[in-house]
Amino acid sequence: MSEVLNKTELNQWHVDHGGRMVPFAGWEMPVQYPTGPLQEHKVTRESAGLFDIDHMGQIEVRGPQAEAFVNWLVTYDVSKMKLLDAHYALFCYADGGVVDDLFVYRLPDPQVEGQDYFFLAVNASNRDKDVAWVKSHAAGFDVQVKDISDETYMLAFQGPRAPEIMDRLTNVDLTRVARFTAAQDTIFNGVPVLLGRTGYTGEDGFELFLPAEHVLKVWEGILKEGENENIVPVGLAARDSLRFEPCMPLYGHELSPDISPVEARLTFAVSFDKAFIGRDALLKQKLEKPDKVLVGFELTDRGVAREGYPILLEGEQIGFVTSGMFSPTTSRYLGMALVPREHASIGTEIEVQIRKKTTRAKIIKRPFYVPAYRR
Amino acid sequence: MKIDQDARYSDEHEWVRAEGDLFVYGISDFAQDQLSDIVYLEPPEVGDVFEKGDAIGVVESVKAAADLYLPIGGEIVEVNEALVDAPEVMNSDPYGEAWIVKFKASDAGEFEGLMSAGDYQKYAEEAHE
């Protein structure tokens, strides 16, 4: 059985530049380029890296009741968002389990003077599910929901040098574009772009949304502009290790229909003082304290704690690993796990079952790497 | 792809070289390239005895774990402890510094049953497609 994989516009570029192509969420994407994921990770932390993330989905919500509708769907109170703000949020089921996590943008509507609309950037693996979820709740609201994933190309440009490199390419003064806000501009002779000063690496930088037909020019143009800063294209492997170190959750690992935002310690993205799907269940969980919570741990002995490995306390299984790997920036073997709240305090000695061996570990403070916007 | 002409090879992309009356064992250049950046090695212990084809340890890269199979039965007499502290050497020098174990074969005749360097080159090139 072979699955027919979607290919991004940059697929041939990746192949031509030694990208090792793998199936991911129904797409054929580069897991790494020839220099390898550790180098891609390091360059992103020290200079900047460019990511093809076109497999991610984008949904527009327009109409007189767009704000009320989005507010009913997502955990964060979008009525607090000003024009060109970007905020992390989640879609939840009524029981508090997670449908997906996303970034919400409030943007000026180019079609109607003085109007604004909402733009939602969602995970590749959940795109169809998310579009169906949003549409299924639209009845009774005066809104139009549109999946614009196909015509919208998404890139991420991340790293401490990314803002200055990007600033050389834009008309807008990017030093005035604060973290978690966005700018609309044109680059490379008229390519319209939405630049969100967000990302998922723990570094400063941008997520770019542009018309798919112009992506090659933009991709190659950014790489060329950053030549002196030695920037590199980055594959999925380093994208995962970069999001892992600042403990940013990944759907299917730290978030799922069985793991709520309260358990995953994401209440910064949950506005309990407004109505939304899942609010009652989440509020109850918050007040009564969740039975299980997400923790970070470090292996005391060497080893790689992969997703799904059992977490033991005095020989008894108490939880499981959600993500684990060798952390390139800290040179430590780290992981995240879901464990009972009573065993979640920092310093607790646990064990991870790695194949036939139990390996000693200790619960440590999260994040493992402090993201740029908190420094 | 580099091939050590003095070594013989298993179909799991491991190499074995004769060294006096012992054999030295490691993973091939093809194997390290497929695994990508290696971050962990779990070797066997000195004195462990294995049958031909037994899993003797594990190597882990950024993305995946892979078992190490000993293509000749025998007893482990030396483990490269320095490699445990610097597993990335498997990426940079798979046939040299990155030997994994030395072992005494139960039946040294099995060595001749492994692929020659020339045969392995063809085998690895086909595996690459």
Residue B65 falls inside a structural domain: yes
Give the pairing of strands A49-52 and A232-234.
parallel
> In the prediction, which pLDDT does A1 show?
46
Residue A258 has pLDDT above 90, yes or no: yes
Q: Does B82 contact A at CB distance below 8 Å?
A: no
pLDDT at residue B129 in the model: 65
| pLDDT at position A22 | 95
A73 CB-contact burial (10 Å; exposed 0-12 / middle 13-18 / buried 19+): buried
Contacts of B60 in chain A (CB under 8 A): 304, 326
Per-residue pLDDT reduced to its tens digit, A188-198? 999 999 999 99
B36 touches chain A (CB under 8 A): yes
In tens, the pLDDT along B12-45 reads 999 999 999 999 999 999 999 999 999 999 999 9
Residues of chain B neighbouring A303 (CB-CB closer than 8 A): 40, 42
User: How many CB atoms within 10 Å of residue A46?
Assistant: 15
Nearest residue of chain A to residue B91 (CA atoms):
A36
Sheet harboring A6-7: ordered strands across? A6-7, A27-32, A20-24
Q: Looking at the domain assignment, is residue B82 inside a domain?
A: yes
In a domain, B129, yes or no: no
Flag if B39 and A303 touch (Cβ within 8 Å). Answer: no
Residue B51 lies in a domain: yes
Residues in contact with A126: Cβ distance below 8 Å, sequence separation at least 6, in sequence order: A57, A99, A100, A251
Chain A nearest CA to B64, separation (Å): 9
Q: At residue B23, what are phi and psi to the nearest 5 degrees?
A: -125, 145
- Position B68 scores a pLDDT of 98
Mean pLDDT, residues B107-118 taken together: 96
Q: Find the CATH number of the domain harbouring B83.
A: 2.40.50.100
Please name the member of A302, A303, A326 whose beta carbon is closest to the beta carbon of B62.
A326
ipTM (interface pTM): 0.89
- The angle formed by the CA atoms of residues A266, A272 and A274, to the nearest 5 degrees, is 130
Residue A25 CA to residue A41 CA, distance in Å, equals: 22
Name which of B48, B61, B62 to mutate to probe chain A: the one with the most chain A Cβ atoms within 10 A of its Cβ: B62
Average confidence (pLDDT) over B89-111: 97
Span A241-253, pLDDT tens digits: 999 999 999 999 9
* B62 assigned to some structural domain: yes
What residue numbers bound the domain in which B21 lies?
8-107+118-123
Q: How far is B45 from chain A (nearest CA, A)?
A: 14
Residue B112 belongs to a domain: no
Helix, strand, coil percent values for chain B (each to nearest 5): 25, 35, 40
Domain tally, chain B: 1
**Over 60: is that where the pLDDT of A2 sits?**
no
**C-alpha dist (Å) from residue A167 to A173, A220, A298, A342:** 7, 16, 38, 48
Q: Per-residue pLDDT averaged across B60-67, rounded?
A: 93
- Taking only the tens place, the pLDDT of each residue in A123-157 is 999 999 999 999 999 999 999 999 999 999 999 99
- pLDDT for A3: 67
Q: Which residue of A has its CA nearest to B32?
A: A36
Q: CA dist A276 to A57, A108, A111, A133, Å?
A: 22, 24, 28, 14
Q: DSSP alpha helices (H): ranges in A52-148?
A: 66-73, 127-136
Minimum Cα–Cα distance from A241: chain B residue: B62
Of residues A4 and A286, the one with the higher pLDDT is A286
Q: Which domains does chain A have, with CATH numbers?
A: 6-56+151-244 (3.30.1360.120), 57-147 (3.30.70.1400), 291-368 (2.40.30.110)
Look at residue B12 and tell me if it is in a domain. Answer: yes
